[in-house]
Amino acid sequence: MGSFQVAIIVAGVLGHLFLNESFIEWLFYLLKGGEILKLQRFDRSYIKDYQETTEGYLTFKDVPITRTGVFPYRRSDGATSYEAKLPEEILSDSTVQSAQSKAVTDEHPSELVTTANHKQLAKGLSHTDARVDGDKLLVSFTVTDSELIDKIKAGKREVSIGFLSDIEQREGEYNGQRFDAVQKNIEINHIAVVDHGRAGPEIGIRNDSDAWQIENEGGKGKMPVYKIDGKDYEVDSAVKSFLEAQQAKLDAAELKIKQVDTLQGRVDAQDATIKAKDAEITQLKEKQLSADELDKKVEERVALIATVKPLLGDSFDFTGKTDRELKEAVIQSVNPEFKGDSKSDDYINAFYDATVANVQVNGFSSTGAQSALTVDSAGTQSKEINDMKAQRLNMRK
């Protein structure tokens, strides 16, 4: 387990023991390297009228979900902190945008709504018409879950938003009200339909016929569970969300590494193919005969055919025969029992040279198809070579 994870667990345990929110915030501040960690908050308001669609869904139009002002929050230690929602924060474009297309839940979940738990927690969705009206933020939403629809029809009409915000500890005054801290970078996570007068530290505020009830995340029973090395630990929901976000970044980085490895494997395979082709080209170049070498090979072939043709006869088919096969045929014409399958080229060449030399001295005789004859090797070979050279020269013209 890493030091960061241990520190997170220690912070959660100590915060649970001392029930001191300021102490927890201070530890989270240090763990994030001096950055202010976002804390989860809940704002509450009442809803009145709704429209029922042909499918039975309930749609609520232009519901005021939050507004500017100074609001009391009951901390876990029982103390009250007054936090300001200033216009430049709560009515900012980013906060208004964050109210759109967010999950509608039945009560507040013990963790932030994400793609991992949306199917389980979402009972509807907010619309994309979030807007500012005076000092309020309004948005419409539709409930699609039959159980929550029944509860709403039975009188469950209070709406509470769950959101994250940076808590900047600084004193000030807004519209004549003193505050201890300012909520900054407010991000709405979900919209919960809750029972009126639910248990927990709540403070009711009523202005101009709008009822607002605000609570912190304390008094909610069991904390969210985060798994580390196969073991479950209870941590604050904001901490759990932060850790899950870091894990998501790590997973994305590992995926990119795998993609890079895959691409590198393809590049290496291409390199191997190119190297193999280069080696093949080199071998072909090495095997390629020069003009002089080709002339030499042709002359040697012509000389060989001129030598063996009188010995093998006009009926012998030279087509496709290698030099070795021609030499073996000459040897077998004198010695029909000869088998050269297991003999080396050097052996065949030596045997052939000896056979030709013997014929040149003693003449050729065979009990085979060829008739006995004496070969004037010098004259015959010279004439044959000259004739074949002439034919080759004519082919070049």
From the list 353, 365, 359, 394, the residue with the least C-alpha distance to 380 is 359
CA distance 33 to 13: 20
| Cα–Cα dist 386/116, whole Å | 91
Quickly tell me which residue has 């929110």 as its tokens.
21
Question: Does an H or E element contain 152, and which?
Answer: helix 146-153
Please state the domain extents for the chain. Answer: 35-255, 291-396
pLDDT of residue 225: 59
246 three-state secondary structure: helix
Backbone φ and ψ for 50, nearest 5 degrees, come out as: -145, 165
- For the chain (397 residues), the mean pLDDT of every run of 10, in chain order, is 48 44 46 49 64 94 89 71 92 96 92 93 97 94 96 86 88 93 92 61 26 38 57 62 78 86 86 87 73 79 85 84 88 84 87 82 53 42 50 48
Taking the C-alpha atoms of residue 77 and residue 59, their distance in angstroms, rounded to an integer, is: 39
Q: How would you label 364-390 residue by residue, b for 16+ Cβ within 10 Å and e otherwise?
A: bebeeebeeeebebeeebeebbeebee
pLDDT given for residue 16 in this prediction: 43
Residue 198 exposed, middle or buried by CB count within 10 Å (0-12, 13-18, 19+): middle
Please report the pLDDT score of residue 228 as a whole number.
65
pLDDT at 316: 87
| Residue 59 C-alpha from the chain's centroid | 40
pLDDT of 42 reads 55
| Residue 79: predicted pLDDT | 72
**Residues linked to residue 225 through DSSP beta bridges, in sequence order:** 234
Residue 241, classed as helix, strand or coil, is helix
Type of residue at 336: P
Unique residue bearing structure tokens 């030596």: 350
Q: Distance (Å, rounded) from C-alpha 32 to C-alpha 35?
A: 5
3-state secondary structure of 364: strand
Strands 158-174 and 136-143: unpaired
Q: Could you please report the per-residue DSSP string of 65-110?
A: EEESEEEEEE-TTS-EEEEEE-HHHHTSHHHHHHTTT-EEEES--S
pLDDT for the residue 289: 62
What is the model's pLDDT at position 97? 97
